[in-house]
Amino acid sequence: MPERLKRAQKALEEKRKQVNETFRPHYHLSVPAGWLNDPNGFGFFQGRYHLFYQFHPYDSVWGAMHWGHWSGESLIEWREEPIALAPDKPFDEAGCYSGTSLAVDDTFYLAYTGVVEKADRKRLQQQCIAQSSDGIHFEKWKSNPVVKSTDLPPGASPYDFRDPKIEHFGNGYRMTVASKGERGGQLLSFYSENLQDWRYIGVYANELGAMAECPDLFRLDGKQVVIVGLMDYKEPDMPSNPVVYLVGSESEGTCQKEYDIKPVDWGADFYAPQTMLTPDGRRVLIGWAFGWGNVLPTHTLGHGWAGTMTLPRECTLREGRLIQNPIKEMEKKRGRAIRLEPFTVSEHRLLPECAGACREIQMLLDLKEAHSFTLYLMETGMEHFCLKYDKHTGTMTADRTQSGYQLTVNGTPDIHSVTKAPIQLEHGKLALRIFVDVSIIEIYVNDGALVMTHLAFPKGKNYGVSMSANGKAEILMLESFEML
Ligand code: FRU
C-alpha cells in the first residue's frame, strides 16, 4: 500500500477510537471519523455498488482531500473499504478533489481533480485518472494529468477547473468539467477515444453562478438532465449556493434547457449530489447533507467526525420536474409501525406514537379549513425543529433556531437557520414523508415533488413530535415507522 495511504488509514484507525457517537445517524451514511464532503465515484462494478467521498482523515474539518470508500451489495447495506486515494503524487499533492467513476469491462476507472499548490499558493486544478481491477485498490496513471490546464479554452481559469464527470459517449468517452470563465460558472466538454488522449470540444452550459461545481449529466425519461452546484448564485427565491437541475436536450454539444432551472433540494444542507444508474435501470441520487459556510457541532464539540450523506433517492421526471423519493429498499429498514385513525388538529397536540430519534413519518393533510400547519420535530422539552406550512403564501418554512446546538462558531451565524420552499397544494392536500435520524431530517413533500434536507443537533435525547394548526387541519392519514 502506498505510504500516504497507509498513513491516512492509520490516522483513521486512531481517530475512530476517539469518536463520540452521540449525533451519529443510524440509517444514513456518515464518515467514520474525520471530515467528509462530496459523494464521489458513485457507481456499480463487478456486482457491488461503490460510493467514494471527499475525505480528510486527520481532522473533522476540511483538509488535504483523500477519497474514502464504501461498497455494498445493495444501496442500503454498506461496508467500509480502505481509503482509495491519497494526495501523494506530483500531480495531486495538494488534494484529490471530487470526481466520478466509470466501469469499462473489467476495469473500474476513477476520474478526479488533481490539485497542486503553486509557489504563489494558487491551486492548479487538472483532471486525473486512477484504475482498479478489484474495485478496492486503485493505481493512478503515470500520464496524469490527462486533461491539463493547457487544454483549457481562452478565458477559463486553471484554478477553478474541477469535478470531472466521465461517461460513455459515441464510440468513446466524454468528460464534463466545471470551470470558471469570463462570464462565471460554465461546464466544458472534452472527448476521448481511449480515456488517455482528450480534446476540448466546447462549452456544454454556461451562466452557472460565479463558479459551477460537481456536474452530473444523465438521460432520464427521454430528456437530458444536468445537475450542478452554483456558487454565489443570487436568486432571491432559492437557497444560497443552490444545487440546481436543468432539463432539456443536447444539441450540437450543448445542453438546451426546456424548463426553468430549479433547486434539487430546498433545505439547509444539501450539496454536490451524484447519481448512478442501477442494474435494474433506476437513476439513484445521493448528496452531501451539508453546505459550505456553516460549522458542524460535531466538530466544535470535539466529537471527532463531521459529514453525513442523504438517503439514496430514486429520480424520475414529471413535466420537467425532478421527482425524488427514497429508494424502495428503505422500506426494509422499517421496524414497528403505527397507524393513527384520522383526526383534526387545531390546538397543540403531542404525538407520542411518533417519538424516537430514528423514524419515518408519513402523513396526508387536508388544509382546506386551516391557514397554517406546524409540525415540531426533534422536540426534547425546550427545543425543537419547526416545520410550518403557510397556505396564504404557499410557503414551507423550516426553522432550526430553537434546535439544540447551532451550526455556528465564534459568533458566526448559521447561514441557513431558516429556509423556505414554495409548495402549492392540490385540492387543499399536503403529503409529507419525513425521515428523522438523530441529527438529520429529510422531508419529502407531495410524493417527492420537493425535498428539504436539514441537519439539527438537539441537546436532549428523547425526541418527540407534536403539531398544531391555525384553523383546522384534517390529518387524513398518519403512519410512522421505527427505523432500524
Ligand atoms: C464541492 C467541492 C468541489 C471540490 C471539492 C473539494 O463541495 O468544492 O468542487 O472538488 O469540494 O473537496
Q: What is the DSSP string of 224-278?
A: EEEEEEEET---TTS-SS-EEEEEEEEETTEEEESS--EES--SSS-EEEEEEE-
Residue 425: per-residue pLDDT: 95
**pLDDT, tens digit (0-9, with 9 covering 90-100), for 110-144:** 999 999 999 999 999 999 999 999 999 999 999 99
Residue 409: per-residue pLDDT: 72
404-424: average pLDDT: 88
Residue 236: per-residue pLDDT: 79
Whether 1 has a pLDDT exceeding 90, the answer reads no
Test site for ligand 1: of 56, 65, 113, 213, most ligand atoms within 8 A of the Cβ: 213
pLDDT-based confidence at residue 104 (cuts at 50, 70, 90): very high
Pick from 19, 31, 22, 18: which is nearest to 404 by CA? 22
pTM, rounded to two decimals: 0.97
**pLDDT, tens digit (0-9, with 9 covering 90-100), for 236-283:** 788 878 999 999 999 989 999 999 999 999 999 999 999 999 999 999
Give the whole-number percent of the chain exceeding pLDDT 70.
100
Q: In angstroms, what is the span from residue 38 Cα to ligand 1's centroid?
A: 7
**pLDDT, tens digit (0-9, with 9 covering 90-100), for 186-199:** 999 999 999 999 99
For the chain, state the CA radius of gyration: 22
Pick from 25, 47, 22: which is nearest to 310 by CA? 25
Element (H, E) at 116: strand 107-117
Test site for ligand 1: of 35, 124, 161, 162, most ligand atoms within 8 A of the Cβ: 162
Q: Are 476 and 341 in contact (CB under 8 A)?
A: no
Asked if residue 97 has its Cβ within 6 Å of ligand 1, the reply is yes
Q: In angstroms, what is the span from residue 230 Cα to ligand 1's centroid?
A: 12
Test site for ligand 1: of 52, 117, 128, 214, most ligand atoms within 8 A of the Cβ: 214
DSSP 132-200: ESSSS--EE-TT--SB-GGGSPTT--TTSEEEEEEEEETTEEEEEEEEEETTEEEEEEEEESSSSSEEE
Ligand 1 atom showing the smallest separation from residue 97 Cα: 10
Whether 410 has a pLDDT exceeding 90, the answer reads no
Whether 411 has a pLDDT exceeding 80, the answer reads no
Whether 156 has a pLDDT exceeding 80, the answer reads yes
**pLDDT, tens digit (0-9, with 9 covering 90-100), for 322-345:** 999 999 999 999 999 999 999 999
**pLDDT, tens digit (0-9, with 9 covering 90-100), for 387-397:** 999 999 999 99
**pLDDT, tens digit (0-9, with 9 covering 90-100), for 193-249:** 999 999 999 999 999 999 999 999 999 999 999 999 999 888 878 887 899 999 999
Ligand 1 atom showing the smallest separation from residue 178 Cα: 9
Asked if residue 37 has its Cβ within 6 Å of ligand 1, the reply is yes
